[in-house]
Amino acid sequence: MIGLRPNIAKMAGYTPGEQINDPAVVKLNTNENPYPPSPRVFEAIQAVLTGDKLRKYPEPSGISFRKAATRVLGIDSESILIGNGSDDILTILTRTFVPEGGRIVTLTPSYSLYKSLAEIQGARFQTVAFGPNWSLPAVSAIPPDTSIFFLANPNSPSGTFIDIQKIAAFIEGLPCPVVVDEAYADFAEDNALRLAKLPKVIVSRSFSKSMALAGIRFGYAVAQPEIIQEMIKVKDSYNCDVLSLTAAEAAIQDTAYVTETRSKILATRERMQPALEALGFQVTPSQANFLWCRRSDRPVQPIYEALKQQRILVRYMQYSDYGEGLRISVGTDAEIDRLLSCLHDII
Ligand SMILES: *Cc1c(COP(=O)(O)O)cnc(C)c1O
């Protein structure tokens, strides 16, 4: 194709999870929240629709959302950058920090979008294995010429969580900016927000999981204002629309609702793990809203296929440098009962 950049021609492109919009399908493949968003989100969107807001451009920096987030999170609004989903934040970070020919480093197995970001940027991509029991590797394993280091915590697909003090010590030894991708932080026992005060840390958050707003596309970054100012130069001026900003502002303030749905999800996760283990899976202890399930006695792809036949969708994952497994989102209790009963028949 004329004029096509060679790195784009060569890359396969990121493959998102299947999005089947059929209410009869039990969808446990992309870690959406099984519960609806806060009722306040619907009220806020209604109010926008009856006003005159859609005709005009949104406020580009999301000042109203950032003020609300400031109150809830206890950080300065100058430390927050809004994104069209946290994937947009990850793209902005790559374009801000990674030169062509630069190097993106992450641990493996982890979020596979990081590789696509490197390919689009024309940068090299390198994975480093986790230490024992999903711990951090030695700092010396990270190449000195790394442009940016992505750390998903809790990690996907494992759901494992690395202690924040350990992350702080690791970051100290790193030669580059570090992104702590906290798409699942609301399900974990701690988070890295306090590390965003350090001059080379960027924390990334998503509204797709704990806030149940995957359909609206919203995320944000937290970092020192000097970093945020550089990222503002890179982002699209109007990367978040009026509806997503309205929804996000309402959702972040309803902390009681997030706490309530979170505890339901954690309770379901706690009973799901032993039930899957009883079916012969090795299940990694999770601090996220999904479980990473592997088997040593048989391949798991046929199990994924058989579940799909029964209209239950889970995520089959296969890493060339790690191996395969099923990542299963925590659904409602009824959905998980159906999953377990189908698995019982299959296995
Ligand atoms: C889901 C997910 C994201 C992306 O979230 P969006 O806000 O929907 O773009 C980012 N990182 C990880 C690790 C995720 O699992």
273 & 217 share domain: no
Q: 181: Cβ below 6 Å to ligand 1?
A: yes
Q: 239: Cβ below 6 Å to ligand 1?
A: no
Q: Which of 14, 160, 208 to mutate to test the pocket of ligand 1 (most atoms within 8 A of CB)?
A: 208
Q: Compute the distance from residue 30 Cα to the ligand 1 centre, in Å.
A: 9
List the single range of 3-7, 194-198, 227-231 with lowest mean pLDDT: 3-7
Q: Compute the distance from residue 87 Cα to the ligand 1 centre, in Å.
A: 6
Ligand 1 nearest atom to the CA of residue 218, by list position: 7
> Could you give the number of structural domains in the chain?
2
44 & 127 share domain: yes
Buried b (16+ CB within 10 A) or exposed e, 219-250: bbbbbbeebbeebeeebeeebbbbbbbbbbbb
Q: 83: Cβ below 6 Å to ligand 1?
A: no
Query: What pLDDT band is residue 8 in, cutting at 50, 70 and 90?
Result: very high
The CATH number of residue 142's host domain is: 3.40.640.10
What is the average per-residue pLDDT within 75-79? 97
Q: 206: Cβ below 6 Å to ligand 1?
A: yes
Predicted pLDDT of residue 51: 87
205 & 341 share domain: no
Q: Compute the distance from residue 183 Cα to the ligand 1 centre, in Å.
A: 5
Last residue of a domain, one of 194, 224, 254: 254
Predicted pLDDT of residue 252: 98
Instruction: Count helices and strands (H / E) in the chain.
Output: 11, 12
**Segment 10-67, tens digit of pLDDT:** 999 888 888 888 888 999 999 999 999 999 999 999 999 998 999 999 999 999 999 9
Q: Compute the distance from residue 150 Cα to the ligand 1 centre, in Å.
A: 13
108 & 248 share domain: yes
- Supply the angle between the helices 63-73 and 242-253 in degrees, to the nearest 10: 20
**172, pLDDT greater than 90:** yes
244 & 292 share domain: no
180 & 317 share domain: no
Structure tokens, 250: 């309402």
Percent of the chain with pLDDT over 70: 100
Query: What pLDDT band is residue 345 in, cutting at 50, 70 and 90?
Result: very high
Predicted pLDDT of residue 5: 92
247 & 275 share domain: no
Query: What pLDDT band is residue 117 in, cutting at 50, 70 and 90?
Result: very high
Q: 214: Cβ below 6 Å to ligand 1?
A: yes
Classify residue 12: in a domain, yes or no. Answer: yes
49 & 179 share domain: yes
Predicted pLDDT of residue 16: 84
266 & 341 share domain: yes
What is the average per-residue pLDDT within 84-100? 98
The CATH number of residue 308's host domain is: 3.90.1150.10
Q: 290: Cβ below 6 Å to ligand 1?
A: no
Q: Compute the distance from residue 154 Cα to the ligand 1 centre, in Å.
A: 11
**Segment 285-305, tens digit of pLDDT:** 999 999 999 999 999 999 999
Query: What pLDDT band is residue 257 in, cutting at 50, 70 and 90?
Result: very high
Q: 85: Cβ below 6 Å to ligand 1?
A: yes
Predicted pLDDT of residue 194: 97
Classify residue 116: in a domain, yes or no. Answer: yes
Last residue of a domain, one of 254, 272, 288: 254
Classify residue 1: in a domain, yes or no. Answer: no
26 & 171 share domain: no
Last residue of a domain, one of 207, 229, 254: 254
Predicted pLDDT of residue 21: 80
336 & 218 share domain: no
Percent of the chain with pLDDT over 90: 94
**253, pLDDT greater than 90:** yes
Predicted pLDDT of residue 240: 98
Classify residue 199: in a domain, yes or no. Answer: yes
Does an H or E element contain 181, and which?
Answer: strand 178-181
Q: 156: Cβ below 6 Å to ligand 1?
A: yes
Name the residue among 181, 154, 175 with its Cα closest to residue 266: 154
Domain containing 47: what range?
A: 39-254
245 & 262 share domain: no
Q: Compute the distance from residue 159 Cα to the ligand 1 centre, in Å.
A: 13
